[in-house]
């Protein structure tokens, strides 16, 4: 089993670091002076939502919008979708050319908590997640992975463990013959490890094994060095590839994407075929003994080769990668009740709006200023805590009237 810390995974333990630098936790009696903050500047961005299909970007250092969302200077992008819904993005990964990122989303931190942080540079750089792909390998655990769990052994365990979940990967999600008949290659794949290198203990070396379901007796295995960026792999030729070459799956440390949807020009998509027994309890919590078993790889091999895996009911059921950012969390709630988007609440009915103290008008949005996030700027050396302070309608009794969103930033400039 691995015995190396993964320095790319401080999201789970960052609370301890933050507590040391003034963040997290409750109030404590302390006779020492209040620490000087590095967040020495303020910025306010009042932006009228643009037309559907458009984006507008803001540089919190220059306190100005950036035309065309070009370059590395902008820090926050607001995009309005084809149906009028708004989303937020950082200048990073799939959203921009910059070195930005977000330390969690609006459900992860309160504005009050963020105001207690005194210096963002005390945080490990990797807590600021770049925008990327969300797909079949994305999960709801602390590291947002469907293939790995972090620290299953308790507070002193800082390792990543694979759960040996079986992922089906089709090379032709656009074709119905990818389901059931499998005349196009459909692979079953398990991620089997995360540590490698000369000593076998260095993080960022994901291992995986796979079979072509037309001949599941032939098991292929590979390990890739994904420590410093995306590494692309061709499952058909069983070899490394490139972003512009033929590839099916790619790794960047513990992040995984497929060549389809928002991640590539291919027709690759995935589906969860099986979660092997014994890894999670009835409440979905990891069972450490199973993850840490010395025979776990052999025990789960039959799952990879099984003929009765769950399969998509139609070609449209395959999961394609979509764009994702920590700033756009999963919606909470259900219609006809209010829907919580993190930064704001959507009131679908006049009754829900009125109950929230708004005019009795359906389809109103209400800002949630008590929530926030910590951003890394596009240049990579500036930071800001941010919240959506208000949403104001040109006509409060007309949900279709122009909306002005006002964001508030406390900025830590470059040193």
pLDDT digits (tens, 9 = 90+) for 233-250: 999 999 999 999 999 999
Per-residue confidence (pLDDT) for residue 126, from 0 to 100: 74
Contact 346, 365 (CB under 8 A): yes
Cα-Cα-Cα-Cα torsion 100, 106, 112, 115, nearest 10 degrees, comes to: 0
> d(Cα 287, Cα 270) in Å, to the nearest integer?
26
Cβ atoms of residues 404 and 46 within 8 Å: yes
C-alpha 188/C-alpha 309 separation (Å) is: 9
3-state secondary structure of 154: coil
Q: What is the C-alpha separation between 31 and 337, in angstroms, rounded?
A: 47
Element (H, E) at 166: strand 166-170
Angle (nearest 5°) at CA 388 between 386 and 391? 165
Total H helices, total E strands in the chain:
5, 26
Distance CA 385, CA 103 (A): 10
243 CB contacts (<8 Å, ≥6 apart)? 230, 232, 250, 264
> pLDDT value at position 1?
42
Task: Give the C-alpha separation, 392 to 101, whole Å.
Answer: 27
The CA distance from 104 to 328, in Å, is 10
Backbone phi, psi, residue 386, to 5°:
-140, 145
- Per-residue confidence (pLDDT) for residue 8, from 0 to 100: 44
What is the C-alpha radius of gyration for the chain, rounded to an integer number of angstroms?
23
Q: What are the angstrom distances between the C-alpha of 179 and each of 62, 171, 175, 307, 336?
A: 52, 11, 8, 13, 35
d(CA 303, CA 276): 7
Indicate the helix (H) or strand (E) that contains 255: strand 255-258
What pLDDT is recorded for position 125? 83
Which pLDDT score, from 0 to 100, does residue 182 have?
52
Q: What is the pLDDT of residue 16?
A: 43
Q: What's the CA gap between 213 and 122, in Å, rounded?
A: 48
* Cβ-based neighbours of 322, under 8 Å, separated by 6 or more: 133, 134, 135, 261, 262
* pLDDT value of residue 12: 44
- At 5 the pLDDT is 36
Averaged pLDDT, groups of 10, the chain, 415 residues long = 42 45 39 72 97 95 96 96 87 91 94 96 87 88 88 90 97 66 80 96 96 96 93 97 96 92 92 97 96 98 97 90 91 90 96 95 97 97 98 96 97 95
Residues facing residue 189 across a β-bridge: 167, 210
Question: Which pTM value belongs to this model?
Answer: 0.68
Asked if residue 349 lies in contact with residue 341, where contact means CB atoms within 8 angstroms, the answer is no
Domain boundaries, the chain: 14-22+38-130+326-406, 133-324
Nearest residue to 61 (alpha-carbon basis) of 77, 46, 41, 78:
41
Contact 142, 330 (CB under 8 A): no
What pLDDT does 35 receive?
A: 60
**What is the model's pLDDT at position 31?**
42
Q: What is the pLDDT of residue 142?
A: 74
> What is the separation of C-alpha 170 from the centre of its chain, rounded to a whole number of angstroms?
23
Closest C-alpha among 156, 155, 137, 157 to residue 147: 137
């Amino acid at each position: 089993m691995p015995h190396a810390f993964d320095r790319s995974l401080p999201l789970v333990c960052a609370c301890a670091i933050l507590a040391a630098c003034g963040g997290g936790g409750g109030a404590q009696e302390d006779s020492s002076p209040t620490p000087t903050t590095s967040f020495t500047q303020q910025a306010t961005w009042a932006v009228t939502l643009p037309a559907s299909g458009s984006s507008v970007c803001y540089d919190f250092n220059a306190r100005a919008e950036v035309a065309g969302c070009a370059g590395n200077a902008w820090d926050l992008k607001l995009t309005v979708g084809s149906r009028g819904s708004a989303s937020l993005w950082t200048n990073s990964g799939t959203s921009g050319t910059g070195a930005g990122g977000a330390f969690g989303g609006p459900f992860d931190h309160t504005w009050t908590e963020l105001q207690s942080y005194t210096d963002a540079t005390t945080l490990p750089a990797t807590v600021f997640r770049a925008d990327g792909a969300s797909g079949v390998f994305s999960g709801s655990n602390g590291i947002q992975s469907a293939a790995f769990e972090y620290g299953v052994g308790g507070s002193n365990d800082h390792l990543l463990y694979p759960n040996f979940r079986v992922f089906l990967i089709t090379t032709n999600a656009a074709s119905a013959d990818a389901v059931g008949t499998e005349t196009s290659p459909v692979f079953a794949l398990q991620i089997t490890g995360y540590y490698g290198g000369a000593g076998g203990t260095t993080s960022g070396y994901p291992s995986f094994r796979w079979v072509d379901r037309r001949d599941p007796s032939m098991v292929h295995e590979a390990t890739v060095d994904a420590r410093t960026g995306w590494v692309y792999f061709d499952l058909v030729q069983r070899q490394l590839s490139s972003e512009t070459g033929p590839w099916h799956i790619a790794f960047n440390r513990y992040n995984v994407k497929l060549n389809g949807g928002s991640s590539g020009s291919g027709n690759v998509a995935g589906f969860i075929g099986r979660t092997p027994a014994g890894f999670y309890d009835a409440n979905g919590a990891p069972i450490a003994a199973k993850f840490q078993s010395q025979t776990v790889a052999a025990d789960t091999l039959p799952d990879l080769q099984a003929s009765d895996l769950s399969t998509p009911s139609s070609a449209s059921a395959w999961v394609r990668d979509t764009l994702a950012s920590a700033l756009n969390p999963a919606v909470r709630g259900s219609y006809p009740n209010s829907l919580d988007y993190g930064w704001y609440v959507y009131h679908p009915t006049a009754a829900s709006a009125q109950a929230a103290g708004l005019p009795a008008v359906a389809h109103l949005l209400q800002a949630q200023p008590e929530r926030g996030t910590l951003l890394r700027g596009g240049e990579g050396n500036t930071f800001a805590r941010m919240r959506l302070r208000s949403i104001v309608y040109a006509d409060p009794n007309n949900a279709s009237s122009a909306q002005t969103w006002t964001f508030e930033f406390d900025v830590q400039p470059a040193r």
